[in-house]
Amino acid sequence: MIDLQIQHFFSGREYAKQMTLPAGHYAETHEHQYDHISILAAGEVIVCIDGVQEKHIGPTALVIPAGKVHRIDAITDSVWFCIHATDEIDPERVDQVLIKG
């Protein structure tokens, strides 16, 4: 498994998860029970949402709709942020709280 160099940032009820995606790698397919913002800070990726693929070049932001299965594939080395509202502040538990399933 590739090291995505994940960093966690917490401020009040806001949470940002930063991932560094090397070219040719991806962030796991998953879904959430609510809309959330994602930011491609740098790089070029393909975002697949419920089977529909779109190419994005950073910097850019997009909204991932609730209940939509999504995956991020890096075309070039990329930096990606997932932004969520949550009361969870434990980096070891935050994915368990936020990811549906």
Whole-number pLDDT of residue 98? 87
Up-side HSE of residue 45: CA atoms within 13 Å toward CB?
A: 31
Buried/exposed 31-50: b ≥16 CB within 10 Å, e otherwise: bbeeebebbbeebbbebbee
Average pLDDT over every residue of 51-58: 96
What CATH number does domain 7-98 carry, 2.115.10.20, 1.10.10.10, 2.60.120.10, 2.40.30.210? Answer: 2.60.120.10
Write down the pTM of the prediction.
0.89
Task: Provide CB contacts within 8 A for 16, sequence distance 6+.
Answer: 8, 9, 81, 82, 83, 84
Report residue 84 as tokens. Answer: 């969520």
pLDDT in tens, 3-48: 889 999 999 999 999 999 999 999 888 888 889 999 999 999 999 9
Up-side HSE of residue 36: CA atoms within 13 Å toward CB?
A: 25
Q: Where are the domains positioned within the chain?
A: 7-98
